[in-house]
Amino acid sequence: MKIKYLLVLTLVFVLILSACAQPTQAPVEEPAAEEPAAEEPAAEAPAVSELNILWAQWDPADYLQQVANMYEEETGIKVNVIQEPWGSFGDRFFTEMAAGGDAWDMVVGDSQWLGQGATQGHYIELTDFMASKGIDKSVTPATLTYYGEYPTGSGHYWGFPTEGDADGWAYRKDLFEDPDEMAAFEAEYGYPLDVPKDYNQLMDIANFFTRPDDGIYGVAIYTQKDYDAITMGVENTMFSWGGDWHDENNNVMGIVNSPENIEAVQFYRDLYECCQVPGLSNAFFTETNDAMIGGQATMIMNYFAFLPALASSDISEYADVTGFFPNPAGPKGAPQHAALGGQGMSVISYISDERKQAALDFIEWFAQEDIQTKWAELGGYSCNSSVLQTDEFLAAQPFNPAFAETMTFVKDFWNIPEYGELMEITQRHLSSFIVEGVGTAEETMNAIAEEHDQVLRDAGYIE
């Protein structure tokens, strides 16, 4: 009898709770979220006095808050930059979006999120707004494409390029410029020791400086499996070898497992085997930076946004002897390439029209050249093309020249909504081949190509 009681009670609860849950699902039914906030406009005050921007927890977000404080002084509208730790940034954002939440008005989201943000209606389209205010012309074309446009090449924009970023290198100038080292290097390899011009030179230098008995190693490169790090690292070589993830028609067979890609991946593995600082088997930006700060690495790969720590003498005792260079060229004459990082600012579609307008007003203000100059001065990586070319910018930080150069040859991973599945595949196989040391480069790339092909076919990108 008690069991029945329990069952009935359970049923009642299910009913109550599913009834409660119904409104959550209601907005889900709307195909495009044009006016999802229409249900509760009464809750909104007519004048918007506060705006919330979600970003990851790091220094640039502090800089953005400082810029935002200037906006408050000018207009009286308070702008809060809400910082969520990197590890949960994506999860928190998308969980809120799943519920159609309006906790934030804007998000400075990853370039890879564009597909999900655009096709699933989380972002509002900014094409007309950006064109009418001339914002699309004020930023460099590459950043507009990667931080704003979806689908790539369509001319539809969803984000304002806010924080440009890409992979580059830091190196120990004191070792590179040591006369004894220079002489020994030239004697061994037949050309002078300098910043590597192509990846073969990089390999030579890494080998040359790998001296376990002295506690010094050639490189620290990305190997982390968690999310996207090892893929981003390998991408640098792949693109520079002339390889790619796909062609214009989204075909991957023969592209992902092209001879160029196979060679590039093999190169990355060789570099890891010969010259990686020990223990960096699950390494991303903090680990490679630490290898430099700890004095174990001669050259490290990292996103420019994380390099300020290395140039700061308060953090790294090698700061004064740390130099920076952009990704070298591939060995086969293919143009230089660098894996893209960075974020664009998008407006959430689930907020009221007044808030949307207020958010757009903020972006319009933020995109002005003098504000962008201010943004760059604080340490933000402006995407504004004239700011990037000023002497002030180039002289502001030792890595800024390398950064400005890199931003002309960036390239990105997939940004379609299925990028997560594609990423999981590359992470798994690349970690297995490079870190675990299993299989051959050809097997690895064949496996990735096959699995990518399957995902893209299931999703209808290839028929």
Partner 1 sequence: MSINEAQVSTVDQEMKKQPRRRQLSDRSIVNLFIWPALLLLIAMNVFPLFYSLYLGFTDYSAIARQQPVWVGFQNFSRILNDEQLWKYFATTGRFALLSVGLQTLVGFGLAMLVNEKFKGSGLLTTLILIPMMISPVVVGLFWKLMYNPTFGFFNYLIGFTNPSTAPDWLASRFAGTPVPGMALWAVVIVDVWMWSPFVMLLVLSGLKAIPDYLYEAAAIDRASAWFQFWRITLPQVTPLLLIAVLFRTIEAFKAFDLIMGMTGGGPGDQTELISVNLYRQAFLGQWRTGRASALAYIILIIIIAISNLYIRYLNQMKGES
Partner 2 sequence: MSNFREDGPGYPVTEASRVDKVSPISRRLRSLRAITVMVIAIIMLIPVFVMAITAFKSRSVIVSHPPTIFFKPSLEGFVFLFTDRAVVSKARQPEFKAAAETGELGLVERIALESGQEVTGPSDYVNRLKNSLIIAGLSTIFSVVLGLFAAYAFSRFDVLGKDDLLFFILSTRMLPAVVVTIPLFLMFRQLGLNDTHLGMILLYTVFNLSLAVWLLKGFIDEIPVEYEEAALVDGYSRIQTFFKIVLPQTMTGIAATTVFCLIFAWNEYAFALMLTSDNARTAPPSIATMLGRGGIEWSAIAAGSLGFLIPVVIVTFALRNYLLRGVTFGAVRK
Per rule CB under 8 A, is residue 20 in the interface with partner 2? Answer: yes
308 binds, among partner 2, partner 1, none (CB under 5 to 8 A by kind): partner 2
Task: Report the nearest approach of partner 2 to the CB of residue 199 (Å).
Answer: 25
The residues, ordered by sequence, that sit 6+ positions from 298 with a Cβ below 8 Å of its Cβ are 171, 172, 175, 205, 206, 209, 216, 217, 218, 219
Which amino acid type is present at position 69? N
289 binds, among partner 1, partner 2, none (CB under 5 to 8 A by kind): partner 2
Do 147 and 161 contact (CB within 8 A), yes or no? yes
Q: Give the contact letters, 159-198, x = binds to partner 2 (CB under 8 A), - = no.
A: ----------------------------------------
Question: How is residue 335 annotated by DSSP?
Answer: P
Per rule CB under 8 A, is residue 57 in the interface with partner 2? Answer: yes
What does the alpha-carbon distance between residue 341 and residue 407 come to, in Å, rounded to a whole number? 10
336 binds, among partner 2, partner 1, none (CB under 5 to 8 A by kind): none
Nearer of residues 122 and 356 to partner 1, judged by Cβ: 122
438 binds, among partner 1, partner 2, none (CB under 5 to 8 A by kind): partner 1
307 binds, among partner 1, partner 2, none (CB under 5 to 8 A by kind): partner 2
34 binds, among partner 1, partner 2, none (CB under 5 to 8 A by kind): none
**According to CB under 8 A, which one of 37, 79, 202, 310 is a site residue for partner 2?**
310
The residues, ordered by sequence, that sit 6+ positions from 106 with a Cβ below 8 Å of its Cβ are 51, 52, 53, 54, 345, 346, 347, 348, 359, 362, 363
Look at residues 445, 452, 449, 457 and name the one whose alpha carbon lies nearest to residue 422. 452
84 binds, among partner 1, partner 2, none (CB under 5 to 8 A by kind): partner 2
Q: What is the DSSP string of 261-306?
A: HHHHHHHHHHHHHHHBPTT-SS--HHHHHHHHHTT-EEEEEEEGGG
Nearer of residues 180 and 314 to partner 2, judged by Cβ: 314
Task: Report the nearest approach of partner 2 to the CB of residue 360 (Å).
Answer: 25
316 binds, among partner 2, partner 1, none (CB under 5 to 8 A by kind): partner 2
Do 266 and 203 contact (CB within 8 A), yes or no? no
Do 134 and 434 contact (CB within 8 A), yes or no? no
353, two tokens: 């029209």
Look at residues 79, 77, 68 and name the one whose alpha carbon lies nearest to residue 49. 77
What does the alpha-carbon distance between residue 156 and residue 139 come to, in Å, rounded to a whole number? 15
Look at residues 454, 455, 450 and name the one whose alpha carbon lies nearest to residue 418. 455
What does the alpha-carbon distance between residue 61 and residue 82 come to, in Å, rounded to a whole number? 8
| 275-304 residues near partner 2, rule: CB under 8 A | 285-286, 289-291, 293-296, 302
227 binds, among partner 2, partner 1, none (CB under 5 to 8 A by kind): partner 1
Per rule CB under 8 A, is residue 316 in the interface with partner 2? Answer: yes
76 binds, among partner 2, partner 1, none (CB under 5 to 8 A by kind): none
Q: What is the size of the binding site for partner 2 (CB under 8 A)?
A: 53
Helix axes 229-240, 259-275, angle to 10 degrees: 120
Nearer of residues 182 and 394 to partner 2, judged by Cβ: 394
| Local structure of 384: helix, strand or coil | strand
What are the strands, taking DSSP E only, across 203-360?
217-220, 297-303, 322-326, 338-339, 343-347
Per rule CB under 8 A, is residue 315 in the interface with partner 2? Answer: yes
Task: Report the nearest approach of partner 1 to the CB of residue 225 (Å).
Answer: 4
Under the rule (CB under 8 A), what is the footprint of partner 1?
6, 9-10, 13-14, 17-18, 21, 25, 27-30, 33, 90-91, 94-95, 97-98, 100, 112, 116, 120-122, 212-213, 215, 224-228, 273, 277-279, 281-282, 294, 296, 417, 419-421, 423-424, 428, 431-433, 435-438
Q: What is the DSSP string of 89-135?
A: HHHHHHHHHHTT--S-SEEEEEGGGHHHHHHTTSBPP-HHHHHHTTH
**According to CB under 8 A, which one of 11, 12, 49, 85 is a site residue for partner 2?**
85
Question: Which residues sit at the interface with partner 2, rule CB under 8 A?
Answer: 1-3, 6, 17, 20-21, 23-24, 57-59, 62, 66, 82, 84-88, 91-92, 95, 98-99, 101, 103, 215, 285-286, 289-291, 293-296, 302, 305-310, 312-317, 377-379
